[in-house]
Structure 1
């Protein structure tokens, strides 16, 4: 049980990759705080699966794009669970638009959740770790698009590129507190955010042609990577991005 006695908070864990991470950490002994925008049926289902995995936890609601909510989520999690040891910044959104058509509102929404939320949730987590004496792990769910251009998703790419540099900076700045900070960069994964792609056979086949392993990722593939980075098995790993993309990044060709 690699996370026995640990408490983990996974943002945006009502579905998809976030749910898979929450359940995988629970399978290895962590008690899990399931975070979503609201205490909805999806979040409660994730908590039910955490309990089926043999652990326990709670649901805490909050808009990760809102700075006061970030601090409140961390505070409520500590009150409910007694402490936090692992923060998984998974919550994220994307909005497709040609660059010339991107609105300020859409830009603010994407950067608000993907970057501002990651920044300030981590800040609140680090303050808690400092208060309780140090040692913790932060895992950011980034994207291959922290490196790879993504035409028509300029805001999303900008947010993930910024999260890459934020991770590198915080790995240095938070090391004295014993906090390790790493990214996971998934490629194409079978999640609700990719529903349109999965229903378009032509686009899907073109994408699969760019993936050396010739399949889409599964949420569990990312969850296994998150488990490693959250655990003591990664005690000497900080400031790096682990790509979980089937080889997509180095084989990609724009169609």
Structure 2
């Protein structure tokens, strides 16, 4: 009987100890603030690494940065909750992607953005464009429209009257002022195509991550607000504490100092709120 009582007491003590450990472990997990941010390799992941991550870590966060090499996986990862935030897309791309992929995505704040540029390894000016000149451009709908609008602004082609600039496609070209040859390619492949074409319209993140510089562009886009990069979250997270801290990180004096003082960020397009920083 005494042996049974001893074993029973020992069992209760062990059970209590296990419960205590479990409770302690659970509390530790709940107290740990982790935020996983996805971004395309290049300027936006650099911004996170150089200013946003240090700011959030001072606030007690464990920040994980995941880099992507395309414009599809960051939104899929956000939708599937393998990341909490992504930083790579403009608001027009976000709206189009969310609609066509039946996802709920929420733009949080626009940030300093690299403009799309016309680059070349063979030519130094627009004056060298002639009949037969090859120009590569993004084959993704939103950025293709963006590239075609820029080509119109540069006087290379004319779009049909009444065409929405953000929805233009090759079918909407009314005429070419020069008989150039357009070559739509995957956005990530455009820097590598420079050796095979005369010019290429390259999104800023891919241009800079491949070693190109804004100062080397033959021409740069006059970027409208709807093409500024937006920090993106899931709608159900918009009232969570980490979201406010993320906004504070981008509005911080540390981030403003980085963008305004570091020479490598010269030429970025600033959202209106940032101009007042």
Check whether TM > 0.5. no
TM-score norm. by structure 2 comes to 0.29
Structure having the higher strand fraction is 2
TM-score norm. by structure 1 comes to 0.31
Higher relative contact order, structure no. (Cα contacts within 8 Å, ≥ 6 residues apart): 2
Which structure has the larger Rg?
2
